[in-house]
Amino acid sequence: MTVELKEKLSNWRRDLHQHPETGFLEIRTASIVASVLSELGFTLEMGKEVMSEKHCMGKPDEKVTAEHYAWALDNGANKAFVETFKEGYTGIVATLKTNIPGPTIAYRFDMDALDIYESDADDHVPVKEGFRSQVDGKMHACGHDAHTAIGLGLATCIAGEKENLCGTIKLIFQPAEEGTRGAKSMVEANVVTDVDYFIASHIGTGVPHGHFLAANNGFLATSKLDVCFRGTAAHAGGSPEQGKNALLAAAAAVLNIHAISRHSQGVSRVNVGELHAGSGRNIIANHATMKVETRGEHAAINQYMKEQVKSIVAGAAKMYQVDYEIKTVGEAINCTCSEELARTLYECANASPDIIHAELQNDAGAGSEDATYFMEAVQKNGGLATYCIFGTELAAGHHNEKFDIHEATLLSAVQILYKSVYKLLAEAGC
Amino acid sequence: MTVELKEKLSNWRRDLHQHPETGFLEIRTASIVASVLSELGFTLEMGKEVMSEKHCMGKPDEKVTAEHYAWALDNGANKAFVETFKEGYTGIVATLKTNIPGPTIAYRFDMDALDIYESDADDHVPVKEGFRSQVDGKMHACGHDAHTAIGLGLATCIAGEKENLCGTIKLIFQPAEEGTRGAKSMVEANVVTDVDYFIASHIGTGVPHGHFLAANNGFLATSKLDVCFRGTAAHAGGSPEQGKNALLAAAAAVLNIHAISRHSQGVSRVNVGELHAGSGRNIIANHATMKVETRGEHAAINQYMKEQVKSIVAGAAKMYQVDYEIKTVGEAINCTCSEELARTLYECANASPDIIHAELQNDAGAGSEDATYFMEAVQKNGGLATYCIFGTELAAGHHNEKFDIHEATLLSAVQILYKSVYKLLAEAGC
Amino acid sequence: MTVELKEKLSNWRRDLHQHPETGFLEIRTASIVASVLSELGFTLEMGKEVMSEKHCMGKPDEKVTAEHYAWALDNGANKAFVETFKEGYTGIVATLKTNIPGPTIAYRFDMDALDIYESDADDHVPVKEGFRSQVDGKMHACGHDAHTAIGLGLATCIAGEKENLCGTIKLIFQPAEEGTRGAKSMVEANVVTDVDYFIASHIGTGVPHGHFLAANNGFLATSKLDVCFRGTAAHAGGSPEQGKNALLAAAAAVLNIHAISRHSQGVSRVNVGELHAGSGRNIIANHATMKVETRGEHAAINQYMKEQVKSIVAGAAKMYQVDYEIKTVGEAINCTCSEELARTLYECANASPDIIHAELQNDAGAGSEDATYFMEAVQKNGGLATYCIFGTELAAGHHNEKFDIHEATLLSAVQILYKSVYKLLAEAGC
Amino acid sequence: MTVELKEKLSNWRRDLHQHPETGFLEIRTASIVASVLSELGFTLEMGKEVMSEKHCMGKPDEKVTAEHYAWALDNGANKAFVETFKEGYTGIVATLKTNIPGPTIAYRFDMDALDIYESDADDHVPVKEGFRSQVDGKMHACGHDAHTAIGLGLATCIAGEKENLCGTIKLIFQPAEEGTRGAKSMVEANVVTDVDYFIASHIGTGVPHGHFLAANNGFLATSKLDVCFRGTAAHAGGSPEQGKNALLAAAAAVLNIHAISRHSQGVSRVNVGELHAGSGRNIIANHATMKVETRGEHAAINQYMKEQVKSIVAGAAKMYQVDYEIKTVGEAINCTCSEELARTLYECANASPDIIHAELQNDAGAGSEDATYFMEAVQKNGGLATYCIFGTELAAGHHNEKFDIHEATLLSAVQILYKSVYKLLAEAGC
């Protein structure tokens, strides 16, 4: 079966890699995931059943979603399920209830791609082996295609074992992890309120091939903010004083946002990553938009950063008598993994033939992840949660146009997770 | 003939209006202009014959030009002449030499359109009457379609009169007046070195319908600068200190450019009209581009403004250890009209039945025009030059998506210019 | 008498030059002026009789005033009058009522000095001739010592002629012209409501020796604003995030204030001339103060500038969550001289043997003067007003530590003004 | 003897408290210290013998030093020694050589006060008990008066014990610790090249009364920079464009300095704590000065911060075409205490009856200290170094106008240090 699974994993991953879909637009992806899980006998909850509408952050508008739905229909979406995801609520929770008392174990997998133009260089493996992105400007450059495949692999392993298991297994397929936008809506829809053990995972992230990390604690709390200023246009030569200059407001905001004080209680970050303003050289700019993010070692520090950004944006708007809007289009918190659960995973990895080195815990790091919302929710209810990393050989760093994983990691990852099901149930005494 | 000419003028203008072409891409326009003028018997000099390559400012690159050439071929360009303009050198000088001694009189007409999406509202006349722009995002929103039509109208009037005239008549069709980019290259190609009288003109500009202004002195000297900063990208969470932040450099530049001191010797202006920077929220931005313009009541004031911009851009780059580039993509000077020539035009207008009010001179105003280069060159050689305005009823201001002129002005303008030919020759004693 | 007056003028001027007093502290000066005028038989109104308390802008506080009063007592203030000016209301209106019907003519003289350390170089005339400022850091570097002397000279001339005159002559000695702070309070106290002709004057200002200017129209409307930000201090190493940074708020305000748009309707100016912030290198600054001024060719333009400053300061405070205060500590308007009155002065100057060239009117210029408040008030009531300049040879520019006038100008100025009394009364038919 | 020593400690401390002297001006202080140590039989090296001239950072100029020398003469400086310190090289190294082989142990004490106006409130102990600062605007608000007294107390204890000791004891009295300016010059003069054990200490710093900390590791590397911009003045109304605006350059520098990127490798800090610019509201400011400091968890991070500041200052100067100067007026590094030595101190404290709680090590903290230069030098030579804290009850925080210590700590501190002499020698086997 292993050989067959290995091939399945590769096929799933490559199909998804060729058809990358960005956050809240994973319509084709979700339709295929749902179809596979359904065939495997899982009970499915989907779309708004598992997503709180009002907690979807940075969701594309109706027009974009409708256009993408059309694309999905034309590009191999599963006809039986695609309509479920038509409006972009693409989350899925697949449940295997054994009817034998026991704990509930949940595994999270994210499905979204990025707005990156994939390299067309001859030495790029997806080019060489014919599975490069078919969508210009979109790419699975973070490995979520692999994550989804691993999720389906784990489902495949479990599906046949229903009678050997106890408790409940939940497989959570999350949209829009990029920009930390999707997890919160699933947490708010209560998909983990009954969960005793929660395991999220990522491939790569600098962990070497054959290595495994059981508890990644270094995620920073973060907020993703879209800021827009709206002023009044005027001819820059003829009547400049009649303008209300949104570009100047934005420039003032940028400088002062970057000048937000460091925080003595821990790591903080802030970045205005994009700024677009104005519509002509000789016109006082009447609009400006900025993409901002803040981070903090703790949620309180991130909150401090976010509050300062808000003050500065409001102040910049006041300076130039322009209107402004701040939209939170993504958010995540920090979280500490449950050591007990991490230890279980660590032991599963150590027992795995493909793993040459397992590590229990890493506190460093400066990225962010919204799986932390699931983790916090589970821990608050008395459950345990961890975030583990499957090391792999990367062709280039995450979010790079030449990003690529080593596919051997797919099977190895499935095996560790699969082992963890049995070990956790065993530990729970069933 | 008047009725017929009126119809011709409208037809020319509406055809051009439907096929707007921006600066140095007036390939279809120039091919048609050349064809008409050729049929009327004018001697034509075209392209690089009348344009200095190295003085073309802000000319699109080869790829854009080639693509547009293909468009022109597909959209009615005149086959006999289109190849002449293939590389985007779209200037034309049409000469009528009488062989009878006499002065050389030149009239300038500009041909380029703007990057504006024309209104598709039902009440917009070009929509109602079926001559709205056929190119999304391009529009004759400043009236240069009318100017070109007037030029062809004047040519038509003169053509039949060769034997009644003396001296030489030159009709100059200039590319890329928008952004003040094209005139200088024609001046540097010596197209006005032999000119005794030079008359440029514009329709509208706030002058009421039925009014005429013989000398518009208010043009400000101006420079159009494209500024770009290039830094180093880095992950904003993981290693922000490894970035060289081009967006911050640009924001610093913007604020300080707007803070350039006022000038005690006259009017100055400065504007950063557009700023685009960065490629992702979580990435230290490694590029930023800005569209800047400076103006001054005198060339020296504009020069002062430009020098300050340069210092500030260099300083901002130094601050953030990024590279920068400043390209001058347009430039014009100020100029004072020759009162004697203006008076002649003023009298022609007063003698015109359609003109209810003529004004000799207006010193106010805050726009810019590169016809000033022609004017300066002519005046330096001892010639006379003026810039006059044909008042018209505007549906909306220049550069507005609902801009439209009153077509009656076309014929009226041709008549005044035509009269001026005879009056100037008469004054010159021939 | 002329020789004697010449000596008196020089004595008065040199005594005042040695005892410079800044705005609203002209206690010694006023006591001496009052004493002289009183002896000459003028009716005196003084202090709060001629100054509206609430319209005194930028008046020093009680402590500073009390200390300076003590200084004045010790340094030759006139005992009979000094107490009148104890609180710093140092304005004087000296009236000569003839009891013969006729117009009321008013002349304004300003009395205040500057916070400048006078040069102690050997070649500086006040050093050479022993009348350098006796107060370190204060200096008559603008010529108001001369103005006061001229006022006393004019008083001397008129005093003996009471029976030859008709109407009423008012001599207005104004405090605090520097910073345009004192005139408004006298206008609001109605000292010119009955005035038919109002003449203010200045010495120097770039007009050459022997020249006279009858109408100086170039004064810009202006506002002088003291801005202060108050934040919260914190240790910059230990807990920077606990600070509210007033220095950063001020820096942001400075840049954006200088970036206020130019105005298409006329000349504008803005300057942050001083900024003082913070109390230690390792402390987040909790206070910052700025001295700001705006100007405009018209009051409306100055008002525009002032409004923008207010928005920017409010915005900067909002950005950094600090408190702020904006105090108007000086203000003046623009004004156009009455041509008819200017012509009379012009003729007086032309008839003066010391004047080699008189000019009627000058519209250029970029300084400010609060005599404009008097002028506006008089013109509003149907009276005429002008502002004239007595050219002189300056050793160095106004407000320079080596500023010095040519004393011959004193007598020449008195003569022109004295002539104007008779000429105006004659023109008025009495 | 203990009672007597307690009184001596208090007397020394209170005398010094009344006569605070800031960095490189500790002339009176040093003269008294030298006199006491000399009487106790120590061999003294002083002034330039123990200080490298060129490594004195931020030393006051000759005039200030000369004036302060005069003050010291008038205020009880010791006549026998005062001239040694006339030029402000106020460091002292007092050596007790036993002539019996053994290690060299060095203790460092700092002597300088701060530019703070001491509270005159009735409840402030120095007021109540009559030992408030006699110098307006200067105050021992950090406890260096206590440090000096402790040093003298330790000297007193050791002096009588010469025959009971082996090896060498060095007492280092350092100037100018505030602003981290003085230590480097003593290190460069090789005062610790022969040292095996080095112990620096501080009173207070938030450690509670009765507590002791043996190894304070949290000091940040730091640089103290004085930045000055020099431009060109001009009248803000009359000819603003002729100015080169130093205030604007400073404002731009401030904002961008605060916007320096956070560093992923550890804590960083930056602050512009003071800014003073301009000399008049209506003058384009021609000078601006700023007090800046950078910090870093490691010297490399501080170096990064310092380099960015330099780029930004250079860039701001370039922007406004002004000159600039950056002076390093203080600098310190980070350092990790030698655990072995800390443990010895820890044990001494535990054996001390006044200590209710001793702690071995603390890694947190965000201040800076130039004792780190001594520590690094000693450790580089194979010696051990530590920095310990004597907890005390503070009336108010360090650098506060109401700062005061609990004097009982003085004796307790002396006793711990004295114990450490014997314990270290014993451990060294002599």
Q: What is the mean pLDDT of residues A263-281?
A: 95
Chain B: give the shortest CA distance to residue C282, in Å.
Answer: 23
DSSP summary character for residue B216: B
Closest alpha carbon to A256 in C317, D194, C417, D277: C317
Judge contact between D55 and D47, C-beta under 8 A.
no
Q: How many CB atoms lie within 10 A of CB B333?
A: 24
Q: How many angstroms separate the most distant Cα atoms in chain C?
A: 81
In angstroms, the Cα distances linking B8 to A47, B5, B19 are 62, 5, 17
Nearest CB among B261, B270, B366 relative to C264 is that of B366
Burial D173-185 (b: 16+ CB within 10 A, else e): bbbbbbbbbbbbb
Q: For residue A261, list chain D residues with Cβ-Cβ distance below 8 A.
A: 258
Would you state the pLDDT for residue C365? 66
What digits encode the pLDDT tens for the residues B396-417?
989 889 999 999 999 999 999 9
Are D200 and D374 in contact by the 8 Å Cβ rule? The answer is yes
Q: Which residues of D are annotated as a binding site for Mn(2+)?
A: 142, 144, 178, 202, 399
Residue B363 confidence class, pLDDT cut points 50, 70, 90: confident
Chain C contact set for A311 (CB, 8 A): 318-321
Picking from C229, C242, C248, C261 by the largest number of A CB atoms within 10 A of its own CB, the best residue to mutate is: C261
Task: Enumerate residues 6+ apart whose C-beta is below 8 A from D162.
Answer: D41, D96, D98
Report pLDDT for B335.
Answer: 92
Token readout for B67 is: 């693509």
pTM for this predicted structure: 0.92
Closest approach of chain D CAs to the CA of B242, in angstroms? 9
Chain B nearest-CA distance from D308, in A, is 8
* Neighbouring C-beta atoms of residue C130, cutoff 10 Å: 9
Q: Write the DSSP string, C28-77.
A: HHHHHHHHHHHHTT-EEEEGGGSS-GGG--S---HHHHHHHHHHHHHTT-
- Mean pLDDT of the C102-112 span: 97
The distance of B56 to chain C (nearest Cα, Å) reads: 30
Query: For residue B138, what are its two tokens?
Result: 């391009």
pLDDT at D1: 56
Q: Which chains touch A (3 or more CB pairs under 8 A)?
A: B, C, D
Which pairing describes strands A211-213 and A384-390: parallel, antiparallel, or unpaired? Answer: antiparallel
Residue with tokens 């210019």: B417
Separation in Å, CA C228 to CA C55, C246, C348, D155: 21, 9, 49, 51
- Determine contact, residues B30/B46, Cβ cutoff 8 Å: yes
Closest CA to C249 of A260, D312, D285: A260
Amino acid D62: pLDDT: 96
pLDDT at residue A387 tops 80: yes
| C325/A416 Cα distance (integer angstroms) | 65
The end-to-end CA distance of chain D, in Å, is 26
- Between positions 337 and 396 of B, the ones with CB within 8 A of C are 366
Q: With a CB-CB cutoff of 8 Å, which residues 180-219 of chain D face chain A?
A: none
Note the pLDDT tens digit of each residue in C145-200: 999 999 999 999 999 888 889 999 999 999 999 999 999 999 999 999 999 999 99
| Confidence label for C99 from pLDDT (cuts 50, 70 and 90) | confident
D263 at the A interface (CB within 8 A)?
A: no
Predicted confidence (pLDDT) at residue B154 exceeds the cutoff of 80 = yes
Residues 271-310 of C with CB under 8 A from D: 271-285, 288, 291-293, 295
Candidates D241, D301, D305, D307, partner chain B, best to mutate (most B CBs within 10 A): D241
The per-residue pLDDT for D430 is 78
Cβ contact A148:A30 at 8 Å: no
- Averaged pLDDT, A344-349: 96
pLDDT band, residue B1 (cuts 50/70/90): low
**pLDDT over 80 (residue C366):** no
CA dist list (Å): A413 to A17, A153, A399, C197: 18, 9, 21, 98
Q: Which of A239, A259, A321 has the CB atom closest to C264's CB atom? A: A239
- Residue contact D261–B238, C-beta within 8 A: no
Give the C-alpha separation, A78 to D266, whole Å.
49
- Assess whether pLDDT exceeds 90 at residue C288: yes
pLDDT band with cut points at 50, 70 and 90 for residue D365: low
Whether D410 shows a pLDDT value over 60: the answer reads yes
Q: How far is B181 from chain D (nearest CA, A)?
A: 27
pLDDT band at residue C428 under the 50/70/90 scheme:
confident
Nearest to D268 among A262, A270, A366 (CB): A262
Annotated binding-site residue numbers of C = 142, 144, 178, 202, 399
Residues of chain D in contact with residue A264, where contact means CB-CB under 8 angstroms, are 366
Give me the residue from C259, C268, C269 closest to B255, CB to CB: C259
List, in sequence order, every residue forming a beta bridge with B387; answer none if it has no partner: B200
Instruction: Tell me which residue of D274, D23, D180 sits closest to C233, measured CA to CA.
Output: D274
The residue of A258, A262, A267, A269 whose CB has the most chain D CBs within 10 angstroms, and thus the best one to mutate to test that interface, is A262
Strands (E), C186-232: 197-203, 211-213, 221-230
Indicate left, alpha or beta for D76 from its phi (over 0: left) and psi (-120 to 50: alpha).
left
The order of strands in the sheet holding D357-359 is D43-46, D92-97, D168-174, D104-110, D197-203, D384-390, D211-213, D357-359
Q: CA-CA-CA-CA torsion for D255, D261, D265, D267, nearest 10 degrees?
A: 20
Q: Which residues of B are annotated as a binding site for Mn(2+)?
A: 142, 144, 178, 202, 399
Q: Which one, of D172, D177, D176, D199, lies nearest residue D44 by Cα?
A: D172
Say yes or no: D255 contacts chain B, CB-CB below 8 A. Answer: yes
* Stated length of chain B: 430
Of C239, C259, C316, nearest to A315 by CB-CB distance is C316
* Contact yes or no for B256 and D312 at CB 8 A: no
Task: Indicate yes or no: CB of D320 within 8 angstroms of CB of B318.
Answer: no
How high is the pLDDT of residue B365? 66
The residue of chain D nearest to residue C269, with distances taken between CA atoms, is D237
**DSSP H or E segment with residue B236:** none
Buried b (16+ CB within 10 A) or exposed e, D225-262: bbbbbbbbbbbbbbebbebbbbbbbbbbbbbbbbbbbb
pLDDT at C1: 56
Q: A107 phi and psi, to 5 degrees?
A: -120, 130
Average pLDDT, chain D: 95
Cβ(A109)–Cβ(A151) below 8 Å? yes
Beta carbons of D366 and C237 less than 8 Å apart: yes
pLDDT per residue as tens digits for the range D104-115:
999 999 999 999
Per-residue exposure over D124-154, b if at least 16 CB sit within 10 Å of its own CB, e if not: bebbeeebbbebeebbbbbbbbbbbbbbbbb
Across the interface, do B262 and C258 touch by the CB < 8 Å criterion?
Answer: no
Which letter does DSSP use for residue C261 in this model?
A: P
Q: How far is it, in rounded angstroms, from Cα A25 to Cα A20?
A: 10
Neighbours of C62 (CB within 10 A): 10
D262 touches chain B (CB under 8 A): yes
Residues B159-218 have pLDDT tens digits of 988 888 999 999 999 999 999 999 999 999 999 999 999 999 999 998 999 999 999 998
DSSP string covering C281-327: TTB---EEEEEEEEEESSHHHHHHHHHHHHHHHHHHHHHHT-EEEEE
Cα D308 to Cα D311: distance, rounded to the nearest angstrom: 5
Q: Stretch B374-379: mean pLDDT, rounded?
A: 97
Distance from CA of C289 to the nearest CA of A (A): 18
Q: Best residue in A142, A178, A241, A272 to probe B by mutation, most B CBs within 10 Å?
A: A272
CB pair distance less than 8 Å for D259 and B240: no
Q: What percent of chain B has pLDDT over 90?
A: 91
Tokens of B15: 């055809």
User: Strand (E) positions, C31-188?
Assistant: 43-46, 92-97, 104-110, 168-174
CB B415 within 8 A of CB B351: no
Residue with tokens 């041709």: B414
Q: Could you tell me if B134 and B16 are in contact, meaning their C-beta atoms sit under 8 angstroms apart? A: no
Q: How far is A304 from chain B (nearest CA, A)?
A: 16
Q: Would the pLDDT of A55 be above 80?
A: yes
The confidence score (pLDDT) of residue D241 equals: 95
Bridge pairing between strands B92-97 and A92-97: unpaired
For residue A365, pLDDT over 80 is answered with no
What is the C-alpha separation between B291 and A283, in angstroms, rounded? Answer: 10
Place D428 in a pLDDT band, splitting at 50, 70 and 90: confident
* D313-361 pLDDT per residue, tens: 999 999 999 999 999 999 999 999 999 999 999 999 999 989 999 999 9
Best of C227, C239, C241 to disrupt the A interface by mutation (most A CBs within 10 Å)? C241
What average pLDDT does this structure show over A19-27?
Answer: 98
Tell me the C-alpha distance between B200 and B216, whole Å: 10
- Nearest residue, CB atoms, C319 vs list A263, A284, A312: A312
Question: Domains of chain A by range and CATH?
Answer: 2-219+335-427 (3.40.630.10), 221-331 (3.30.70.360)
% of chain B residues with pLDDT over 70: 99
Minimal CA separation from A267 to chain C, in Å: 12
Chains contacting B (3+ CB pairs below 8 angstroms):
A, C, D
In DSSP terms, which residues pair with A275 in a beta bridge? A290, B277
pLDDT at residue B309, as a whole number? 98
CA distance D342 to C264: 72
* B92 bridge partner residues: B46, B173
Q: Is C259 on the interface with A (CB under 8 A)?
A: yes
C241–A248: do the CB atoms touch at under 8 Å? no
| Separation in Å, CA of A123 to nearest CA in chain C | 49
Q: Give D91's pLDDT tier (boundaries 50, 70, 90).
A: very high
Chain C interface mutation, best of D57, D224, D244, D254, highest count of C Cβ atoms under 10 Å: D254
Is residue B430 very low, low, confident or very high in pLDDT (cuts 50, 70, 90)?
confident
Report residue D28 as tokens. Answer: 């009176």
Q: Which residues of A touch B222 (CB under 8 A)?
A: 237
